[in-house]
């Protein structure tokens, strides 16, 4: 749907923000004059009723993923596709924001990011937060995984510090990747899921694939690191994949209840 009613009005953006609001507050709620005109257009074209029906069936209109990571976005799109008509990354939605991850858990950070995107867009928003938890370090680096060696640290910096901290720890050095995912809907609904992938830490990096601590992490049942395992195989067993599948199961159950 292109721009209509003058070159300055974008119906796509209006639909993204007003339709969820109308579904939440009801068509008879007080709207500004311009909003009433926009809603009349949407209603006249059957958009409101169609999306109201889809909402009852557990199908939502638009999801914005609070991430610029192309791989992560592609993985989420594949799993969430049955539940949304349109799934966009931040870039695709034309959004730019920087959320300070100062929560005390993966869940808190994920919810904060999702809430920021939902507030900015008026659409459903999904965000995740993940990290590496090493038993010998009391669960560190945990929520500080991306900045273990300090703000702006590279993956190499973080890996080097991890190995330094573990130099006196005997093998096997048990660890797990953890991921929390939070989905916020325009009507105030929330779904969240958690996933883990257990394994151990090597004494030196192996492989150049993946990112973060992947070259140092060997998942249970494997002899290769995440840096060596093909991406397609890693995506079947990763912490994020497990969290996404758990979230999809919740959405599927909700869809079944509304059918």
Q: Where in the sequence numbering do the catalytic residues fall?
A: 129
Pairing of strands 124-134, 60-65: parallel
Residue 66, burial from CB neighbour count under 10 angstroms (0-12, 13-18, 19+): buried
Place of tokens 């928003």: 125
Cα 109 to Cα 252: distance, rounded to the nearest angstrom? 25
Q: State which H helix or E strand residue 127 sits in.
A: strand 124-134
DSSP-assigned states of every residue in 199-243: EEE-SS---S-SSTTGGGEEETT-SS-TTTS-HHHHHHHSHHHHH
Q: State which H helix or E strand residue 174 sits in.
A: strand 173-184
Instruction: Give how far Cα 110 sits from Cα of 19, 100, 182, 195, 226, Å.
Output: 25, 11, 6, 13, 23
Instruction: Give how far Cα 132 sits from Cα of 73, 180, 191, Å.
Output: 20, 12, 23
Cα 118 to Cα 53: distance, rounded to the nearest angstrom? 22
């Amino acid at each position: 749907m292109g721009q209509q009613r003058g070159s300055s009005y974008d119906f796509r953006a209006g639909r993204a923000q007003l339709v969820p609001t109308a579904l939440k507050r009801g068509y008879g709620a007080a709207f500004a004059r311009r909003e009433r005109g926009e809603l009349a257009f949407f209603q006249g074209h059957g958009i409101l009723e169609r999306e109201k029906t889809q909402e009852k069936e557990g199908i939502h209109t638009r999801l914005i993923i609070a991430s610029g990571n192309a791989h992560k976005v592609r993985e989420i799109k594949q799993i969430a596709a049955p539940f949304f008509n349109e799934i966009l990354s931040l870039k695709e939605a034309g959004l730019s924001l920087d959320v300070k991850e100062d929560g005390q858990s993966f869940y808190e950070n994920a919810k904060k990011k999702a809430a920021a995107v939902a507030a900015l867009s008026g659409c459903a928003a999904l965000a995740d937060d993940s990290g590496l938890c090493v038993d010998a370090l009391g669960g560190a680096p945990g929520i500080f995984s991306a900045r273990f060696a300090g703000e702006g640290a590279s993956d190499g910096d973080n890996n080097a510090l991890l190995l330094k901290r573990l130099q006196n720890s005997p093998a096997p050095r048990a660890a797990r990747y953890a991921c929390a995912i939070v989905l916020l809907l325009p009507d105030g609904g929330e779904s969240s899921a958690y996933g883990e992938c257990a394994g151990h830490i090597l004494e030196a990096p192996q492989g150049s694939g993946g990112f973060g601590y992947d070259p140092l992490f060997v998942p249970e049942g494997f002899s290769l690191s995440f840096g060596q395992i093909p991406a397609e195989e890693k995506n079947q067993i990763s912490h994020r994949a497990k969290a996404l599948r758990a979230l999809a199961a919740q959405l599927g159950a909700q869809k079944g209840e509304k059918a």
